[in-house]
Amino acid sequence: MNAALRAVVLAADHYQIEVVAFRHGYKGLLENESVVLRPHDVLHILQHSGTVIKSARCQRFKTIEAAQQASSVLDENNIQALVVIGGDGSFRGAHHLAQHWHGQIIGIPGTIDNDLYGTDATIGFATAVNIAMDALDKIRDTADAMDRVFIVEVMGRDAGFIGLSSAMAAGAERMILPELQRDKPLTIAALVKHIERVQKVRGEGSYVMVLSEHQWPGGAVALAEQLEAEYHLPCRPCLLGHIQRGGAPAPADRILGAQMGVHAVELIRSGATEVMTGIRGQENVAVPIVDTWQKKHPLDPNLLRIQHEIFNPVKKSQRNH
Amino acid sequence: MNAALRAVVLAADHYQIEVVAFRHGYKGLLENESVVLRPHDVLHILQHSGTVIKSARCQRFKTIEAAQQASSVLDENNIQALVVIGGDGSFRGAHHLAQHWHGQIIGIPGTIDNDLYGTDATIGFATAVNIAMDALDKIRDTADAMDRVFIVEVMGRDAGFIGLSSAMAAGAERMILPELQRDKPLTIAALVKHIERVQKVRGEGSYVMVLSEHQWPGGAVALAEQLEAEYHLPCRPCLLGHIQRGGAPAPADRILGAQMGVHAVELIRSGATEVMTGIRGQENVAVPIVDTWQKKHPLDPNLLRIQHEIFNPVKKSQRNH
Amino acid sequence: MNAALRAVVLAADHYQIEVVAFRHGYKGLLENESVVLRPHDVLHILQHSGTVIKSARCQRFKTIEAAQQASSVLDENNIQALVVIGGDGSFRGAHHLAQHWHGQIIGIPGTIDNDLYGTDATIGFATAVNIAMDALDKIRDTADAMDRVFIVEVMGRDAGFIGLSSAMAAGAERMILPELQRDKPLTIAALVKHIERVQKVRGEGSYVMVLSEHQWPGGAVALAEQLEAEYHLPCRPCLLGHIQRGGAPAPADRILGAQMGVHAVELIRSGATEVMTGIRGQENVAVPIVDTWQKKHPLDPNLLRIQHEIFNPVKKSQRNH
Amino acid sequence: MNAALRAVVLAADHYQIEVVAFRHGYKGLLENESVVLRPHDVLHILQHSGTVIKSARCQRFKTIEAAQQASSVLDENNIQALVVIGGDGSFRGAHHLAQHWHGQIIGIPGTIDNDLYGTDATIGFATAVNIAMDALDKIRDTADAMDRVFIVEVMGRDAGFIGLSSAMAAGAERMILPELQRDKPLTIAALVKHIERVQKVRGEGSYVMVLSEHQWPGGAVALAEQLEAEYHLPCRPCLLGHIQRGGAPAPADRILGAQMGVHAVELIRSGATEVMTGIRGQENVAVPIVDTWQKKHPLDPNLLRIQHEIFNPVKKSQRNH
């Protein structure tokens, strides 16, 4: 997100607009934790993950009183437009604030889950895929020598973007994603049958599986234990957790952050409000902010077809699932 | 490129098509270095750079005799369609062969330079940007403590894609790209003026510069020497060279390879010929292969504007260049 | 381990000794899966993890019959000396074989756990520490913004080398290692007290913890759940698992592999048997192979003191544990 | 170096000693750029390269006046002991200061070149080797497909530590180091003969070479041009430059930094002065600071023998050089 913050500050400077940031998100806004940001402050933050202005959750922001208080703080600071970088929670907050504040509000999609409608990609997604793929590569290195099943649990409880992209990038034999589970939840019997068929087709044993979080009770650890205990399949789990949120941001995220930060400032100049800047192909687009969570961002059906159908080692007719 | 090769083999297997590969490109084609590829042969090649079927230059392929000989070899092997993975040189070869062979020819864009018309991205480009950005990040780490100019020479003698994307991703103060040089070639006096103005605006000294190859006589080393000798600016060059072609492929390249490999097989099934598979936004498109080198793939004007204008530390009115 | 294999082959070639490798370890030895290795076969394997000659477990090797059969296979192949690369299990096998075979047996320590007596380091350890530290760094990136506890489970059920080195390298607030647990097993109440004291001393909340495997029932996932459920401490687990065995080997492992592979060949030439090549400081040493598992390799007491005492955010007098 | 700084601050805090840092090294000392450092200030600096207290060259420090002025500044700040982190230049400065100041002076070896006597390793060396090896790996990835010579220029004008370790770790065919050049400077004719012999022995063409800086007029770029122009050997240069000083520090450097920082504080407590903390095997040692530059730190003769003799693809009898 630092890339987007930097771009907002540099673009604002270019158009001679002053930038005030609030540390710790809405919590800091309520407490007027404001700080003026000039180009010099954001020059060399691109390499770092996380955000220099920190972040925080703020349950209280959902109340009318909080929105009114935020409105007062913004007015006291002479803010004319607010740029919100975040996911659907942040954007719901922005929409709530808009009912109580007269200024412009522009969203920049900053979430690793890529689950916002109206944009091909969100800032942080490419980096998370990079990290998940790297973990899968490392496991593949050792998996090949052993007849074992490996389960890597990745983020994305509601959307399988990280799961699908990392599984495809690393050539996983299987992925368990929310979108696939909704259609037809996996049974362990069907999974074991798939593993056995893959091992038969391949004539060898390593089977690497990507599991989106919250798709199996107890996650990768529990699923691995079940496969070992009930089916005598040697199985090793990995749980990436917050590793996926760190690390040097991928180039795609930094370039996206640059484009979106500049676009956000230009949207302000155009008078827009309650829109999120999105990317479609190589074009910047403005998306009504309520659409971003009310409409569904589907997985790319072509990628899903390729990884789940065409690259599936077991043919459709032979599969249970 | 392994990702594309793997995808071709897996998609062909899915559609029950047999795949024969020729090692060492056109050279191997002329010498009938053929090898049957089955899914098992390509399963775990995704992590590796380079290509398992090797590559080679083949000047001789430009002759009519060579194309006729290749045509015979293809017919002897009962090949009905040829998939060529490469850049404009490979595609010119494909077009040349098409004058002398009756089968279908499909191109897959595999070059780090991203200089082919008709596709947003080529396979290898994302990885090269990743590597260039990483080098720039490492330099920035130490540059900040010192009042010095750093010049990093990157690939792309005819097209500034790697230069532009890595400069933006790493927040370089300056980039020298073929596209910018064509408009108005840089003079060393103008460069020195820019350096001095940036240092003045910033109140500090580090200045990191991306230089596309062949844009300065003698490259980064010579330019650094000139800046030191003639202008007493302490300056350190780096020359990335073939480092940019190696390393574990980036997720974007692997996913692109998967899409394009599958699309190439589906183009064969549709009866197409002399087309390259390209990506536009998230759509696969078929591009006449002659267009890929005859038409120009321009830099994204919005990225160019952002990095060269909006993020330029020195305002337009103050610049010579 | 490829570095050691390569070094054995290159050194043997230098001294005009022929090398025959058995794929799949003792299992392959029993089944005579032999392959002649020449320099050309091992030139460019350094970058890759895993082992090109594969590995496998072989319970059966513990029997007298198996050792006798292995002895016959070695004699049929005219083998005069056997180099075994592995951990304590492999070395016990080597010792067992030595009771039934007349040839020389030399061990090379290849295990990520670094738990063999007689050598400062084993091949694979540096790479595993690298990977664990990188995961901890990524978590620290995001941890700083949040008042949370992060638990990263690393390998080393019997020895805390990976845990200690990665905790020190990444500046973890806490480590739970087998060696520390043996003295005084941790209670969850003492842990919670430490967390609270650290947060008090620091005035902020992130607390990153390294947990060696098998030191808590249910591992990092169960401990995180307990801390959340019983003590309302927001807590996120990571489980690195086999990620630690993959990835490009660290320079230290490659250089160690080179030294040990060459030393193993020179030990053969000196007539030694039933010894392991070890490193002490910068010297190669020969260690009786039975010592390697019968004697204990202790953690470096100075590193332990530094990380557990001097860098401990809570002073000894204030700690329960 | 941040690891060492952090360790000094944490160890000092442990022993209830107050730490004052001077930013920008001796330059900052003269200008009294002092800042009190507490544990909180250095907690999370381990991941970052460079130094948070910045560094700078200071020619003026060589004068008697400067040493006297520094002495006054130190006394004004009630400093009783000065810890200097740096290379031989910094240590010469420390020795110079010691003639004019009564306090204790302790050195911590912080230089990527590893060229100080009395310590097996200096902080920064492991990271530089890591980066050089990674570059060599990336080149090897693409080199294998092509009959070409690759020259990678690395740091170390006076000492070949980075060159030797990275060449061994990456399996380079050749290394040109100051230590080897002193014995018998390389001629281009001998180099060409070696390249041809390696290509003959190997039956293939890639030849990767590590060149320490300042060992060839014009460096890797000039040598590559000569090989192409005079001997028609296709050749590609890389020049790593300051890339080697950046990036996330390797675990070995961080652990070494921790050990040395703590040892430096304990040396202060023991009353020592004008010594550098060094590492020998796993022991911390105190080395008279004048020895560190007056005596020579030789390359490990065993590593040199392995890489230059045993792993040399061309046998001694067949070599000119």
pLDDT digits (tens, 9 = 90+) for D10-67: 999 999 999 999 988 899 999 999 999 999 889 888 888 766 777 777 788 899 999 9
Mutation choice for B interface testing from A15, A165, A302 by most B CBs within 10 A: A302
Mutation choice for B interface testing from A40, A306, A308 by most B CBs within 10 A: A306
Domain of residue A183, residue span: 125-245
Are B140 and D49 a contacting pair at CB < 8 A?
no
| Dihedral, C97, C101, C103, C106 alpha carbons, nearest 10 | 10
Q: Which residues of chain D have pLDDT under 50?
A: none
Hey, which residues does C106 pair with through a beta bridge?
A: C83, C275
Stretch C79-102: mean pLDDT: 95
For position D221, what pLDDT does the model report?
A: 96
Helix C251-269 and helix C2-14, axial crossing angle in degrees, nearest 10: 40
Q: What is the C-alpha to C-alpha distance for residues C80 and D28, in angstroms, rounded to an integer? A: 66
Whether A191 and A147 map to the same domain: the answer is yes
Shortest Cα distance, chain A CAs vs residue C5, angstroms: 16
Are D46 and C170 a contacting pair at CB < 8 A?
yes
Residue B109 to residues A78, B82, B262, B277, B278: CA-CA distances in angstroms? Answer: 52, 14, 13, 7, 7
Are B258 and A306 a contacting pair at CB < 8 A?
yes
Does C218 score more than 70 pLDDT?
Answer: yes
Question: What mean pLDDT is reported for chain A?
Answer: 92
Number of domains making up chain B? 2
Whether C112 and C253 map to the same domain: the answer is yes
Are B310 and A165 a contacting pair at CB < 8 A?
no
Length of chain A: 321
By percentage, how much of chain C surpasses pLDDT 90? 79
Stretch A249-253: mean pLDDT: 96
Query: Do C212 and C162 meet the contact criterion of CB atoms below 8 Å apart?
Result: yes
β-sheet with B275-280: strand ranges across: B81-86, B104-109, B275-280, B283-288
Q: Residue A303 falls within a domain, yes or no?
A: no
Whether C13 and C105 map to the same domain: the answer is yes
Query: Do B251 and A166 meet the contact criterion of CB atoms below 8 Å apart?
Result: yes
Are B50 and D241 a contacting pair at CB < 8 A?
no
Hey, which residues does D288 pair with through a beta bridge?
A: D275
In one-letter notation, the amino acid at residue C277 is T
Q: Residue A80 falls within a domain, yes or no?
A: yes
Whether D111 and D136 map to the same domain: the answer is no
E strands, B38-178, where? 81-86, 104-109, 149-154, 174-176
At B44, which CATH number? Answer: 3.40.50.450
CA-CA-CA-CA torsion sign (B117, B118, B122, B125): positive
Q: Using a CB-CB distance cutoff of 8 angstroms, which residues of chain D are in contact with residue B145?
A: 50-51, 54-56
Shortest Cα distance, chain A CAs vs residue C16, angstroms: 31
Whether A69 and A118 map to the same domain: the answer is yes
Q: Residue B25 falls within a domain, yes or no?
A: yes
pLDDT digits (tens, 9 = 90+) for A60-76: 889 999 999 999 999 99
DSSP string, C33-69: -EEEE-HHHHTT-TT--S-TT-----GGGGSHHHHHH
Instruction: Out of D75, D88, D113, D147, pick the active-site residue.
Output: D113
Query: Do D212 and D199 meet the contact criterion of CB atoms below 8 Å apart?
Result: no
Q: What is the C-alpha to C-alpha distance for residues B163 and A140, in angstroms, rounded to an integer? A: 33
Residue A244 to residues A111, B191, C289: CA-CA distances in angstroms? Answer: 11, 41, 42
The two three-digit tokens of residue B135, written as one number: 């080098």
Instruction: Out of C41, C75, C88, C113, pick the active-site residue.
Output: C113
Whether B279 and B231 map to the same domain: the answer is no
For position B145, what pLDDT does the model report?
A: 66
Inter-chain CB pairs, B–D, below 8 Å:
107
Residue B162, C-beta contacts closer than 8 angstroms, at least 6 positions apart: B112, B113, B114, B125, B128, B129, B132, B154, B155, B156, B212, B244
By percentage, how much of chain B surpasses pLDDT 90? 79
Shortest Cα distance, chain B CAs vs residue D151, angstroms: 10
Q: Residue D309 falls within a domain, yes or no?
A: no
Q: What is the C-alpha to C-alpha distance for residues B224 and B149, in angstroms, rounded to an integer? A: 8
Q: Is C267 helix (H, G, I), strand (E, B) or coil?
A: helix
Whether D16 and D100 map to the same domain: the answer is yes
**Residue A138 DSSP class:** H
pLDDT digits (tens, 9 = 90+) for B260-308: 999 999 999 999 999 999 999 989 999 999 999 999 999 999 999 999 9
C13 labelled catalytic: no
Whether C117 and C101 map to the same domain: the answer is yes
- How many angstroms separate the most distant Cα atoms in chain A? 70
Are C141 and A238 a contacting pair at CB < 8 A?
no
Stretch B134-154: mean pLDDT: 87
Stretch B16-29: mean pLDDT: 93
Record the pTM: 0.95
Shortest Cα distance, chain D CAs vs residue B271, angstroms: 33
Query: Do D236 and D247 meet the contact criterion of CB atoms below 8 Å apart?
Result: no
Shortest Cα distance, chain C CAs vs residue A147, angstroms: 9
Inter-chain CB pairs, A–B, below 8 Å:
123
The two three-digit tokens of residue A131, written as one number: 């990290």
Closest CA to A13 of A271, A261, A251: A261
Are B142 and D245 a contacting pair at CB < 8 A?
yes
Q: Residue C311 falls within a domain, yes or no?
A: no
Q: Residue B316 falls within a domain, yes or no?
A: no
- Cα atoms found within 13 Å of the Cα of residue A231, Cβ hemisphere only: 19
Q: What is the C-alpha to C-alpha distance for residues D313 and C269, in angstroms, rounded to an integer? A: 21
Are A49 and C245 a contacting pair at CB < 8 A?
no
Whether C10 and C108 map to the same domain: the answer is yes
- Among D44, D137, D303, the residue with its CB nearest the CB of C140 is D44
Whether D115 and D185 map to the same domain: the answer is no
Query: Do B176 and B154 meet the contact criterion of CB atoms below 8 Å apart?
Result: no
Query: Do B67 and B97 meet the contact criterion of CB atoms below 8 Å apart?
Result: yes
For position C188, what pLDDT does the model report?
A: 93
For position C320, what pLDDT does the model report?
A: 58
At A148, which CATH number? Answer: 3.40.50.460
DSSP string, C175-234: EE-HHHHHHSPPPHHHHHHHHHHHHHHHTS--EEEEEETTSSTTHHHHHHHHHHHHH---
Q: Residue C68 falls within a domain, yes or no?
A: yes
DSSP string, D243-272: GGG-SSPPHHHHHHHHHHHHHHHHHHHHT-
- List of chains touching B (3+ CB pairs within 8 A): A, D
For position A320, what pLDDT does the model report?
A: 57
**Minimal Cα distance from B135: which residue of D?**
D243
Q: Using a CB-CB distance cutoff of 8 angstroms, which residues of chain C are in contact with residue D281?
A: 120, 280-282
For position B26, what pLDDT does the model report?
A: 92
Q: What is the C-alpha to C-alpha distance for residues B188 and A297, in angstroms, rounded to an integer? A: 50
**Minimal Cα distance from A134: which residue of C?**
C247
**Minimal Cα distance from A251: which residue of B?**
B169
Q: Is A279 helix (H, G, I), strand (E, B) or coil?
A: strand
Hey, which residues does C19 pair with through a beta bridge?
A: C37
For position B107, what pLDDT does the model report?
A: 97
Cβ-based neighbour number of residue D36 at 10 Å = 11
Closest CA to B110 of B294, B292, B266: B292
For position D43, what pLDDT does the model report?
A: 83
Whether B115 and B132 map to the same domain: the answer is no
Whether C238 and C282 map to the same domain: the answer is no
- List of chains touching D (3+ CB pairs within 8 A): B, C
Does B18 score more than 90 pLDDT?
Answer: yes
Q: Residue A153 falls within a domain, yes or no?
A: yes
For position A147, what pLDDT does the model report?
A: 72
Are A306 and B7 a contacting pair at CB < 8 A?
yes
Q: What is the C-alpha to C-alpha distance for residues B259 and B278, in angstroms, rounded to an integer? A: 9
Work out whether strand A275-280 and strand A283-288 pair parallel, antiparallel, or are unpaired: antiparallel
